[in-house]
Structure 1
Protein backbone atom coordinates (compact mmCIF):
# COMPACT_ATOMS: atom_id res chain seq x y z
CA UNK A 1 0.00 0.00 0.00
CA UNK A 2 1.38 3.38 -1.02
CA UNK A 3 1.88 6.30 1.35
CA UNK A 4 -1.03 8.17 -0.22
CA UNK A 5 -3.35 5.21 0.20
CA UNK A 6 -2.39 4.86 3.86
CA UNK A 7 -3.01 8.58 4.39
CA UNK A 8 -6.46 8.37 2.77
CA UNK A 9 -7.34 5.26 4.80
CA UNK A 10 -6.22 6.90 8.04
CA UNK A 11 -8.16 10.09 7.21
CA UNK A 12 -11.34 8.18 6.47
CA UNK A 13 -10.95 6.12 9.64
CA UNK A 14 -10.42 9.20 11.78
CA UNK A 15 -13.42 10.90 10.13
CA UNK A 16 -15.66 7.92 10.90
CA UNK A 17 -14.47 7.76 14.50
CA UNK A 18 -15.07 11.50 14.86
CA UNK A 19 -18.62 11.12 13.57
CA UNK A 20 -19.29 8.30 16.02
CA UNK A 21 -17.85 10.36 18.89
CA UNK A 22 -19.75 13.54 18.00
CA UNK A 23 -23.09 11.88 17.20
CA UNK A 24 -24.28 11.78 20.86
CA UNK A 25 -23.59 15.51 21.22
CA UNK A 26 -25.52 16.22 18.03
CA UNK A 27 -28.48 14.14 19.18
CA UNK A 28 -28.41 15.89 22.56
CA UNK A 29 -28.54 19.33 20.92
CA UNK A 30 -31.30 18.27 18.53
CA UNK A 31 -33.44 16.80 21.33
CA UNK A 32 -33.43 20.19 23.04
CA UNK A 33 -35.33 21.68 20.08
CA UNK A 34 -38.42 19.45 20.47
CA UNK A 35 -41.41 19.27 22.76
CA UNK A 36 -41.09 16.91 25.68
CA UNK A 37 -43.87 14.68 24.31
CA UNK A 38 -42.19 14.39 20.89
CA UNK A 39 -39.18 12.67 22.41
CA UNK A 40 -41.33 9.65 23.30
CA UNK A 41 -43.04 9.30 19.93
CA UNK A 42 -40.21 9.40 17.39
CA UNK A 43 -36.48 9.32 16.85
CA UNK A 44 -35.23 12.85 16.29
CA UNK A 45 -32.48 13.32 13.72
CA UNK A 46 -32.97 16.92 12.63
CA UNK A 47 -33.71 20.15 14.56
CA UNK A 48 -37.26 20.92 15.65
CA UNK A 49 -39.09 24.20 16.14
CA UNK A 50 -39.55 24.24 19.92
CA UNK A 51 -36.14 25.64 20.87
CA UNK A 52 -37.44 29.07 21.92
CA UNK A 53 -40.02 27.59 24.30
CA UNK A 54 -37.50 25.25 25.88
CA UNK A 55 -35.07 28.13 26.26
CA UNK A 56 -37.78 30.15 28.05
CA UNK A 57 -38.31 27.23 30.43
CA UNK A 58 -34.57 27.07 31.13
CA UNK A 59 -34.31 30.86 31.63
CA UNK A 60 -37.32 30.91 33.98
CA UNK A 61 -35.62 28.45 36.33
CA UNK A 62 -32.78 30.91 37.13
CA UNK A 63 -30.39 28.70 35.22
CA UNK A 64 -28.03 31.64 34.83
CA UNK A 65 -27.50 31.68 38.61
CA UNK A 66 -26.72 27.95 38.61
CA UNK A 67 -24.33 28.60 35.73
CA UNK A 68 -22.54 31.29 37.72
CA UNK A 69 -22.35 29.11 40.84
CA UNK A 70 -20.83 26.26 38.83
CA UNK A 71 -18.29 28.61 37.29
CA UNK A 72 -17.26 30.04 40.68
CA UNK A 73 -16.96 26.59 42.24
CA UNK A 74 -15.07 25.06 39.31
CA UNK A 75 -12.70 28.01 38.87
CA UNK A 76 -11.88 28.24 42.58
CA UNK A 77 -11.50 24.47 42.87
CA UNK A 78 -9.17 24.37 39.88
CA UNK A 79 -6.93 27.21 41.04
CA UNK A 80 -6.61 25.94 44.62
CA UNK A 81 -6.20 22.30 43.63
CA UNK A 82 -3.52 22.98 41.03
CA UNK A 83 -1.62 25.37 43.30
CA UNK A 84 -1.58 23.07 46.34
CA UNK A 85 -0.88 19.98 44.25
CA UNK A 86 2.03 21.65 42.47
CA UNK A 87 3.57 22.83 45.75
CA UNK A 88 3.16 19.41 47.38
CA UNK A 89 4.45 17.66 44.26
CA UNK A 90 7.53 19.91 44.22
CA UNK A 91 8.22 19.10 47.88
CA UNK A 92 7.82 15.33 47.41
CA UNK A 93 9.85 15.26 44.18
CA UNK A 94 12.83 17.48 45.03
CA UNK A 95 13.17 17.60 48.81
CA UNK A 96 14.23 15.05 51.39
CA UNK A 97 12.55 15.27 54.79
CA UNK A 98 11.62 12.96 57.63
CA UNK A 99 8.81 10.45 56.97
CA UNK A 100 8.66 11.55 53.34
CA UNK A 101 7.92 8.09 51.95
CA UNK A 102 5.33 7.36 54.65
CA UNK A 103 3.50 10.63 54.08
CA UNK A 104 3.49 10.07 50.33
CA UNK A 105 2.23 6.54 50.92
CA UNK A 106 -0.59 7.94 53.05
CA UNK A 107 -1.52 10.28 50.22
CA UNK A 108 -1.65 7.36 47.79
CA UNK A 109 -3.69 5.34 50.29
CA UNK A 110 -6.44 7.98 50.28
CA UNK A 111 -6.81 7.43 46.53
CA UNK A 112 -7.93 3.86 47.23
CA UNK A 113 -10.78 4.93 49.54
CA UNK A 114 -14.05 5.89 47.79
CA UNK A 115 -14.99 9.46 48.57
CA UNK A 116 -18.61 8.44 49.22
CA UNK A 117 -17.51 6.73 52.45
CA UNK A 118 -16.65 10.08 54.03
CA UNK A 119 -19.71 12.02 52.92
CA UNK A 120 -21.60 11.73 56.22
CA UNK A 121 -18.61 12.89 58.26
CA UNK A 122 -17.96 15.68 55.76
CA UNK A 123 -21.53 16.97 55.98
CA UNK A 124 -21.34 16.96 59.79
CA UNK A 125 -18.03 18.82 59.62
CA UNK A 126 -19.45 21.47 57.30
CA UNK A 127 -22.42 21.98 59.61
CA UNK A 128 -20.11 22.32 62.59
CA UNK A 129 -18.14 25.00 60.71
CA UNK A 130 -21.39 26.75 59.64
CA UNK A 131 -20.52 26.27 55.97
CA UNK A 132 -23.64 24.37 54.95
CA UNK A 133 -25.69 25.91 52.14
CA UNK A 134 -22.64 27.79 50.88
CA UNK A 135 -20.33 27.09 47.98
CA UNK A 136 -17.32 26.39 50.21
CA UNK A 137 -18.16 22.69 50.82
CA UNK A 138 -18.01 22.19 47.06
CA UNK A 139 -14.56 23.79 46.80
CA UNK A 140 -12.69 22.47 49.84
CA UNK A 141 -12.47 18.77 48.80
CA UNK A 142 -10.44 19.71 45.73
CA UNK A 143 -7.82 21.56 47.80
CA UNK A 144 -6.61 18.23 49.21
CA UNK A 145 -6.48 16.38 45.90
CA UNK A 146 -4.50 13.16 46.30
CA UNK A 147 -4.48 12.47 42.57
CA UNK A 148 -3.20 15.98 41.89
CA UNK A 149 -0.35 15.55 44.36
CA UNK A 150 0.61 12.20 42.85
CA UNK A 151 0.34 13.56 39.30
CA UNK A 152 2.51 16.61 39.98
CA UNK A 153 5.06 14.61 41.99
CA UNK A 154 5.62 12.16 39.16
CA UNK A 155 5.81 14.89 36.54
CA UNK A 156 8.16 17.20 38.48
CA UNK A 157 10.41 14.28 39.39
CA UNK A 158 11.23 13.69 35.73
CA UNK A 159 10.67 17.11 34.14
CA UNK A 160 12.62 19.45 36.42
CA UNK A 161 16.41 18.88 36.43
CA UNK A 162 18.07 18.94 39.84
CA UNK A 163 20.95 20.92 38.35
CA UNK A 164 18.66 23.82 37.51
CA UNK A 165 17.37 23.97 41.08
CA UNK A 166 20.87 23.82 42.53
CA UNK A 167 22.05 26.58 40.21
CA UNK A 168 19.15 28.77 41.33
CA UNK A 169 20.02 28.17 44.97
CA UNK A 170 23.63 29.12 44.31
CA UNK A 171 22.41 32.35 42.76
CA UNK A 172 20.51 33.11 45.96
CA UNK A 173 16.98 32.27 44.83
CA UNK A 174 14.58 31.26 47.60
CA UNK A 175 12.55 28.06 47.54
CA UNK A 176 9.36 29.90 46.60
CA UNK A 177 11.30 31.86 44.00
CA UNK A 178 12.54 28.59 42.48
CA UNK A 179 9.00 27.27 42.38
CA UNK A 180 7.38 30.31 40.80
CA UNK A 181 10.21 31.41 38.51
CA UNK A 182 11.64 28.09 37.36
CA UNK A 183 9.55 25.04 38.21
CA UNK A 184 6.24 26.37 36.86
CA UNK A 185 7.78 26.94 33.43
CA UNK A 186 8.88 23.29 33.28
CA UNK A 187 5.54 21.80 34.32
CA UNK A 188 3.12 23.87 32.21
CA UNK A 189 1.72 20.78 30.37
CA UNK A 190 1.04 19.03 33.68
CA UNK A 191 -0.64 22.15 35.09
CA UNK A 192 -2.88 22.42 32.03
CA UNK A 193 -3.85 18.75 32.15
CA UNK A 194 -4.64 18.81 35.86
CA UNK A 195 -6.58 22.08 35.49
CA UNK A 196 -8.81 20.65 32.77
CA UNK A 197 -9.43 17.45 34.73
CA UNK A 198 -10.29 19.21 38.01
CA UNK A 199 -12.51 21.74 36.23
CA UNK A 200 -14.38 18.94 34.49
CA UNK A 201 -14.80 16.89 37.67
CA UNK A 202 -15.98 19.90 39.66
CA UNK A 203 -18.29 21.12 36.88
CA UNK A 204 -20.01 17.72 36.59
CA UNK A 205 -20.15 17.00 40.33
CA UNK A 206 -23.69 16.05 41.31
CA UNK A 207 -23.62 13.95 44.49
CA UNK A 208 -21.85 16.43 46.78
CA UNK A 209 -24.02 19.46 45.88
CA UNK A 210 -27.11 17.28 46.22
CA UNK A 211 -26.16 16.49 49.83
CA UNK A 212 -24.74 19.77 51.14
CA UNK A 213 -26.81 22.35 49.21
CA UNK A 214 -30.44 22.98 50.09
CA UNK A 215 -30.94 26.59 48.98
CA UNK A 216 -32.06 26.93 45.32
CA UNK A 217 -29.95 30.06 44.90
CA UNK A 218 -26.85 27.98 45.63
CA UNK A 219 -27.61 25.24 43.09
CA UNK A 220 -24.98 24.33 40.53
CA UNK A 221 -25.74 23.21 36.98
CA UNK A 222 -26.32 19.49 37.75
CA UNK A 223 -28.88 20.44 40.41
CA UNK A 224 -30.32 23.23 38.29
CA UNK A 225 -31.03 20.78 35.46
CA UNK A 226 -33.06 18.54 37.76
CA UNK A 227 -35.35 21.45 38.70
CA UNK A 228 -36.49 22.00 35.10
CA UNK A 229 -40.11 20.92 35.13
CA UNK A 230 -42.77 20.80 37.82
CA UNK A 231 -44.07 18.50 40.54
CA UNK A 232 -46.36 16.79 38.02
CA UNK A 233 -44.25 16.84 34.85
CA UNK A 234 -40.60 16.22 34.09
CA UNK A 235 -39.59 18.35 31.13
CA UNK A 236 -36.89 16.17 29.58
CA UNK A 237 -36.54 18.40 26.50
CA UNK A 238 -35.77 21.45 28.65
CA UNK A 239 -33.39 19.41 30.78
CA UNK A 240 -31.53 18.22 27.70
CA UNK A 241 -31.29 21.81 26.45
CA UNK A 242 -29.90 22.82 29.86
CA UNK A 243 -27.44 19.94 29.61
CA UNK A 244 -26.35 21.15 26.17
CA UNK A 245 -25.80 24.68 27.49
CA UNK A 246 -23.92 23.33 30.49
CA UNK A 247 -21.61 21.28 28.26
CA UNK A 248 -20.41 24.25 26.21
CA UNK A 249 -17.75 25.61 28.64
CA UNK A 250 -16.14 22.18 28.96
CA UNK A 251 -16.02 21.73 25.18
CA UNK A 252 -14.51 25.20 24.74
CA UNK A 253 -11.85 24.58 27.39
CA UNK A 254 -10.85 21.23 25.90
CA UNK A 255 -10.75 22.75 22.42
CA UNK A 256 -8.44 25.52 23.63
CA UNK A 257 -6.20 23.35 25.82
CA UNK A 258 -6.31 20.06 23.93
CA UNK A 259 -2.69 20.24 22.77
CA UNK A 260 -1.34 20.94 26.24
CA UNK A 261 -3.71 18.34 27.69
CA UNK A 262 -2.43 15.61 25.37
CA UNK A 263 1.18 16.73 25.87
CA UNK A 264 0.74 16.49 29.65
CA UNK A 265 -0.82 13.04 29.45
CA UNK A 266 1.84 11.63 27.12
CA UNK A 267 4.70 13.21 29.09
CA UNK A 268 3.26 12.06 32.40
CA UNK A 269 2.97 8.51 31.13
CA UNK A 270 6.73 8.19 30.76
CA UNK A 271 7.91 10.28 33.71
CA UNK A 272 9.13 8.78 36.94
Structure 2
Protein backbone atom coordinates (compact mmCIF):
# COMPACT_ATOMS: atom_id res chain seq x y z
CA UNK A 1 0.00 0.00 0.00
CA UNK A 2 2.87 2.37 0.84
CA UNK A 3 4.48 1.77 -2.56
CA UNK A 4 1.16 2.45 -4.30
CA UNK A 5 0.76 5.73 -2.42
CA UNK A 6 4.33 6.66 -3.27
CA UNK A 7 3.77 5.95 -6.96
CA UNK A 8 0.51 7.90 -6.91
CA UNK A 9 2.19 10.84 -5.16
CA UNK A 10 5.05 10.75 -7.67
CA UNK A 11 2.57 10.74 -10.55
CA UNK A 12 0.75 13.78 -9.11
CA UNK A 13 4.07 15.56 -8.63
CA UNK A 14 5.07 14.95 -12.24
CA UNK A 15 1.66 16.15 -13.44
CA UNK A 16 1.99 19.27 -11.28
CA UNK A 17 5.42 20.02 -12.73
CA UNK A 18 4.07 19.62 -16.26
CA UNK A 19 1.13 21.92 -15.42
CA UNK A 20 3.44 24.59 -14.00
CA UNK A 21 5.75 24.29 -17.00
CA UNK A 22 2.80 24.64 -19.41
CA UNK A 23 1.17 27.60 -17.61
CA UNK A 24 4.38 29.57 -17.01
CA UNK A 25 4.35 31.32 -20.44
CA UNK A 26 0.75 32.43 -19.87
CA UNK A 27 1.70 33.74 -16.42
CA UNK A 28 4.55 35.80 -17.84
CA UNK A 29 2.22 37.08 -20.56
CA UNK A 30 -0.18 38.36 -17.90
CA UNK A 31 2.64 39.91 -15.88
CA UNK A 32 4.23 41.65 -18.88
CA UNK A 33 0.87 43.25 -19.70
CA UNK A 34 1.02 45.20 -16.42
CA UNK A 35 4.25 47.09 -17.18
CA UNK A 36 5.25 50.12 -19.20
CA UNK A 37 6.50 49.15 -22.64
CA UNK A 38 10.05 50.33 -21.96
CA UNK A 39 10.28 48.31 -18.72
CA UNK A 40 9.95 45.07 -20.65
CA UNK A 41 13.49 45.51 -22.00
CA UNK A 42 15.09 45.84 -18.55
CA UNK A 43 14.80 42.18 -17.55
CA UNK A 44 12.39 39.37 -16.78
CA UNK A 45 9.47 40.43 -14.58
CA UNK A 46 8.19 38.03 -11.93
CA UNK A 47 5.70 40.24 -10.07
CA UNK A 48 2.81 42.35 -11.43
CA UNK A 49 3.48 45.98 -12.37
CA UNK A 50 1.33 49.08 -11.92
CA UNK A 51 0.58 49.96 -15.55
CA UNK A 52 -2.27 47.52 -16.16
CA UNK A 53 -5.01 50.18 -16.31
CA UNK A 54 -3.12 52.28 -18.86
CA UNK A 55 -2.41 49.29 -21.07
CA UNK A 56 -6.07 48.32 -20.78
CA UNK A 57 -7.10 51.80 -21.94
CA UNK A 58 -4.67 51.57 -24.86
CA UNK A 59 -6.15 48.25 -25.95
CA UNK A 60 -9.77 49.34 -25.59
CA UNK A 61 -9.11 52.61 -27.41
CA UNK A 62 -8.65 50.57 -30.60
CA UNK A 63 -12.28 49.35 -30.50
CA UNK A 64 -10.99 46.00 -29.30
CA UNK A 65 -14.47 44.86 -28.22
CA UNK A 66 -15.67 45.07 -31.85
CA UNK A 67 -12.68 43.05 -33.07
CA UNK A 68 -13.29 40.52 -30.30
CA UNK A 69 -16.89 40.15 -31.40
CA UNK A 70 -15.85 39.80 -35.04
CA UNK A 71 -13.45 36.97 -34.24
CA UNK A 72 -15.93 35.26 -31.94
CA UNK A 73 -18.85 35.10 -34.32
CA UNK A 74 -16.63 34.21 -37.30
CA UNK A 75 -14.99 31.37 -35.37
CA UNK A 76 -18.29 30.01 -34.04
CA UNK A 77 -20.09 30.05 -37.41
CA UNK A 78 -17.10 28.67 -39.36
CA UNK A 79 -16.51 25.96 -36.76
CA UNK A 80 -20.16 24.89 -36.56
CA UNK A 81 -20.44 24.77 -40.35
CA UNK A 82 -17.14 22.94 -40.70
CA UNK A 83 -18.19 20.41 -38.09
CA UNK A 84 -21.48 19.72 -39.86
CA UNK A 85 -19.96 19.44 -43.35
CA UNK A 86 -17.06 17.30 -42.13
CA UNK A 87 -19.38 14.94 -40.24
CA UNK A 88 -21.61 14.49 -43.29
CA UNK A 89 -18.65 13.95 -45.63
CA UNK A 90 -16.92 11.60 -43.19
CA UNK A 91 -20.13 9.61 -42.78
CA UNK A 92 -20.55 9.33 -46.55
CA UNK A 93 -16.96 8.20 -47.15
CA UNK A 94 -17.08 5.73 -44.25
CA UNK A 95 -20.41 4.04 -44.83
CA UNK A 96 -21.48 4.43 -48.46
CA UNK A 97 -20.23 3.19 -51.81
CA UNK A 98 -20.64 5.55 -54.75
CA UNK A 99 -18.96 6.34 -58.04
CA UNK A 100 -15.52 7.97 -57.88
CA UNK A 101 -15.43 7.48 -54.12
CA UNK A 102 -11.77 6.43 -54.04
CA UNK A 103 -10.75 9.25 -56.37
CA UNK A 104 -12.58 11.86 -54.29
CA UNK A 105 -11.01 10.47 -51.13
CA UNK A 106 -7.55 10.74 -52.70
CA UNK A 107 -8.30 14.36 -53.61
CA UNK A 108 -9.36 15.10 -50.02
CA UNK A 109 -6.27 13.43 -48.55
CA UNK A 110 -4.03 15.02 -51.21
CA UNK A 111 -5.05 18.52 -50.19
CA UNK A 112 -3.49 17.87 -46.78
CA UNK A 113 -0.08 17.91 -48.47
CA UNK A 114 -0.64 21.32 -50.08
CA UNK A 115 0.28 24.35 -47.91
CA UNK A 116 -2.46 26.95 -47.64
CA UNK A 117 -0.02 29.70 -48.59
CA UNK A 118 0.54 28.04 -51.98
CA UNK A 119 -2.99 28.81 -53.12
CA UNK A 120 -3.29 32.21 -51.49
CA UNK A 121 -3.09 34.25 -54.70
CA UNK A 122 -5.68 32.10 -56.45
CA UNK A 123 -7.87 32.28 -53.34
CA UNK A 124 -7.77 36.09 -53.31
CA UNK A 125 -8.56 36.25 -57.03
CA UNK A 126 -11.49 33.88 -56.52
CA UNK A 127 -12.84 35.88 -53.58
CA UNK A 128 -12.55 39.10 -55.59
CA UNK A 129 -14.39 37.52 -58.53
CA UNK A 130 -17.16 36.43 -56.15
CA UNK A 131 -17.38 39.90 -54.60
CA UNK A 132 -16.36 38.75 -51.13
CA UNK A 133 -13.31 40.98 -50.59
CA UNK A 134 -13.72 43.29 -47.59
CA UNK A 135 -16.28 41.00 -46.00
CA UNK A 136 -16.17 38.17 -43.49
CA UNK A 137 -17.35 35.55 -45.98
CA UNK A 138 -13.79 34.47 -46.97
CA UNK A 139 -13.18 33.75 -43.27
CA UNK A 140 -16.42 31.77 -42.82
CA UNK A 141 -17.17 29.74 -45.94
CA UNK A 142 -13.77 28.21 -46.93
CA UNK A 143 -12.95 26.90 -43.40
CA UNK A 144 -16.22 24.95 -43.49
CA UNK A 145 -14.48 22.52 -45.87
CA UNK A 146 -11.58 20.98 -43.94
CA UNK A 147 -9.82 17.92 -45.33
CA UNK A 148 -8.28 16.89 -42.02
CA UNK A 149 -11.65 17.00 -40.26
CA UNK A 150 -13.24 14.88 -43.00
CA UNK A 151 -10.45 12.30 -42.84
CA UNK A 152 -10.49 12.19 -39.02
CA UNK A 153 -14.26 11.74 -38.74
CA UNK A 154 -14.29 9.20 -41.58
CA UNK A 155 -11.72 7.09 -39.73
CA UNK A 156 -13.65 7.40 -36.48
CA UNK A 157 -17.08 6.62 -37.95
CA UNK A 158 -15.78 3.66 -39.93
CA UNK A 159 -15.12 1.64 -36.77
CA UNK A 160 -17.31 3.41 -34.19
CA UNK A 161 -20.57 2.74 -36.07
CA UNK A 162 -21.08 -0.95 -37.02
CA UNK A 163 -22.79 -1.58 -40.33
CA UNK A 164 -25.11 -4.06 -38.62
CA UNK A 165 -26.52 -1.31 -36.39
CA UNK A 166 -27.24 0.86 -39.42
CA UNK A 167 -29.00 -2.04 -41.15
CA UNK A 168 -31.13 -2.57 -38.05
CA UNK A 169 -32.09 1.09 -38.07
CA UNK A 170 -33.11 0.86 -41.73
CA UNK A 171 -35.21 -2.22 -41.02
CA UNK A 172 -36.99 -0.23 -38.30
CA UNK A 173 -37.90 2.41 -40.87
CA UNK A 174 -35.22 5.02 -40.17
CA UNK A 175 -34.12 7.20 -43.06
CA UNK A 176 -30.49 8.05 -43.74
CA UNK A 177 -30.69 11.52 -42.22
CA UNK A 178 -32.36 10.17 -39.11
CA UNK A 179 -29.61 7.57 -38.77
CA UNK A 180 -27.05 10.37 -39.07
CA UNK A 181 -28.70 12.65 -36.51
CA UNK A 182 -29.92 10.16 -33.92
CA UNK A 183 -27.44 7.31 -34.16
CA UNK A 184 -24.17 8.49 -35.68
CA UNK A 185 -23.65 11.92 -34.11
CA UNK A 186 -24.36 10.86 -30.48
CA UNK A 187 -21.82 8.05 -30.80
CA UNK A 188 -18.97 10.15 -32.15
CA UNK A 189 -19.13 12.98 -29.58
CA UNK A 190 -15.43 12.74 -28.56
CA UNK A 191 -14.34 13.04 -32.18
CA UNK A 192 -16.73 15.96 -32.75
CA UNK A 193 -15.36 17.81 -29.72
CA UNK A 194 -11.79 17.25 -30.92
CA UNK A 195 -12.56 18.61 -34.38
CA UNK A 196 -14.56 21.50 -32.88
CA UNK A 197 -11.59 22.66 -30.82
CA UNK A 198 -9.15 22.27 -33.72
CA UNK A 199 -11.36 24.20 -36.15
CA UNK A 200 -12.14 26.90 -33.59
CA UNK A 201 -8.48 27.41 -32.74
CA UNK A 202 -7.55 27.61 -36.43
CA UNK A 203 -10.24 30.20 -37.14
CA UNK A 204 -9.53 32.20 -33.97
CA UNK A 205 -5.80 32.46 -34.70
CA UNK A 206 -6.14 33.03 -38.45
CA UNK A 207 -3.98 35.99 -39.45
CA UNK A 208 -2.85 35.60 -43.06
CA UNK A 209 -6.27 35.40 -44.75
CA UNK A 210 -7.78 38.41 -42.91
CA UNK A 211 -4.61 40.35 -43.71
CA UNK A 212 -5.08 39.95 -47.47
CA UNK A 213 -8.89 40.14 -47.77
CA UNK A 214 -9.80 42.84 -45.22
CA UNK A 215 -9.03 46.53 -45.71
CA UNK A 216 -11.73 48.09 -43.53
CA UNK A 217 -10.76 48.53 -39.88
CA UNK A 218 -14.26 47.76 -38.58
CA UNK A 219 -14.00 44.26 -40.09
CA UNK A 220 -10.68 43.37 -38.45
CA UNK A 221 -10.31 40.25 -36.32
CA UNK A 222 -8.24 39.98 -33.15
CA UNK A 223 -4.92 38.92 -34.77
CA UNK A 224 -5.06 41.92 -37.11
CA UNK A 225 -6.13 44.26 -34.31
CA UNK A 226 -3.23 43.17 -32.11
CA UNK A 227 -0.72 43.69 -34.91
CA UNK A 228 -2.03 47.23 -35.40
CA UNK A 229 -1.59 48.31 -31.78
CA UNK A 230 0.81 51.24 -31.41
CA UNK A 231 1.67 53.79 -34.07
CA UNK A 232 4.26 54.48 -36.74
CA UNK A 233 6.76 55.78 -34.20
CA UNK A 234 6.35 53.26 -31.38
CA UNK A 235 5.47 49.59 -30.95
CA UNK A 236 3.56 49.18 -27.69
CA UNK A 237 4.57 45.63 -26.86
CA UNK A 238 3.08 45.75 -23.37
CA UNK A 239 -0.36 46.61 -24.73
CA UNK A 240 0.00 43.93 -27.42
CA UNK A 241 0.85 41.32 -24.81
CA UNK A 242 -2.17 42.33 -22.72
CA UNK A 243 -4.35 42.03 -25.85
CA UNK A 244 -2.86 38.57 -26.49
CA UNK A 245 -3.75 37.55 -22.94
CA UNK A 246 -7.35 38.69 -23.49
CA UNK A 247 -7.46 36.82 -26.81
CA UNK A 248 -6.31 33.62 -25.10
CA UNK A 249 -9.25 33.56 -22.66
CA UNK A 250 -11.84 31.86 -24.96
CA UNK A 251 -9.33 29.22 -25.98
CA UNK A 252 -8.52 28.42 -22.35
CA UNK A 253 -12.21 28.24 -21.47
CA UNK A 254 -12.99 25.83 -24.32
CA UNK A 255 -10.04 23.60 -23.51
CA UNK A 256 -10.89 23.61 -19.78
CA UNK A 257 -14.52 22.68 -20.41
CA UNK A 258 -13.92 20.08 -23.12
CA UNK A 259 -10.51 18.74 -22.08
CA UNK A 260 -11.78 15.27 -21.13
CA UNK A 261 -13.67 14.83 -24.39
CA UNK A 262 -10.67 16.17 -26.32
CA UNK A 263 -8.27 13.67 -24.76
CA UNK A 264 -10.74 10.81 -25.25
CA UNK A 265 -11.28 11.77 -28.89
CA UNK A 266 -7.56 11.97 -29.58
CA UNK A 267 -6.84 8.63 -27.91
CA UNK A 268 -9.73 6.76 -29.51
CA UNK A 269 -9.07 8.37 -32.91
CA UNK A 270 -5.39 7.44 -32.81
CA UNK A 271 -6.22 3.82 -32.04
CA UNK A 272 -9.06 3.48 -34.54
CA UNK A 273 -7.46 5.45 -37.32
Per the shorter chain, which TM-score range?
A: over 0.9
Identify the residue that residue 229 of structure 2 maps to in structure 1.
Answer: 228
Q: How does 1:249-264 map to 2 (within 5 A)?
A: 249-264=250-265
TM-score by length of 2: 0.98
Question: Does residue 1:35 correspond to 2:32, yes or no?
Answer: no
Deviation at 1:131, TM superposition (A): 0.5
Task: State the match for 1:265 in structure 2.
Answer: 266
1:231-265 CA-to-partner distances (Å, cap 9, x unmatched) read 11110000000000000000000000001111110
SS in structure 2 of the partner of residue 173 of structure 1? coil
Counterpart check, 1:168 vs 2:169: yes
The separation in 2 between residues aligned to 1:11 and 1:171, in whole angstroms, is: 50
Distance 2:124 2:212 in 1: 8
Alpha-carbon deviation of 1:42?
2.4
1:17 and 1:181 map into 2 onto residues whose CA distance is: 39
Match of 2:106 in 1: 105
Q: CA deviation at 1:15?
A: 1.1
Q: Render the CA deviation track for 1:46-87: whole Å, top value 9, x for unaligned.
A: 101100000000000011111011001100110111000000
Deviations 1:203-249 (A, max 9, x none): 01111111111111111000010111111111000000000000000
Secondary structure of the residue aligned to 2:48 is coil
The corresponding residue for 1:147 is: 148
Q: Cα deviation per residue 1:6-31 (whole Å; 9 max; x = unaligned)? A: 11211211111111111000000000
> Structure 2 CA distance, aligned partners of 1:10 and 1:119?
47
Aligned partner of 2:128 in structure 1 is: 127
Distance in structure 1 (CA, Å) of the matches to 2:14 and 2:263: 20
Q: Which runs of 4+ in 1 moved over 6 A?
A: none
Q: 5+ unaligned residues in a row in structure 1: which ranges?
A: none
Give the whole-Å Cα distance in 2 for the aligned partners of 1:209 and 1:172. Answer: 47
Paired with 2:179 and 2:29, the residues of 1 have a C-alpha distance of 47
| Aligned Cα root-mean-square deviation (Å) | 1.0
Aligned residue-pair number: 272
Q: Point out where structure 2 has 5 or more consecutive residues left out of the alignment.
A: none
TM-score (norm 1): 0.98
CA distance in 1, matches of 2:5, 2:184: 43
Are 1:49 and 2:76 matched, yes or no? no
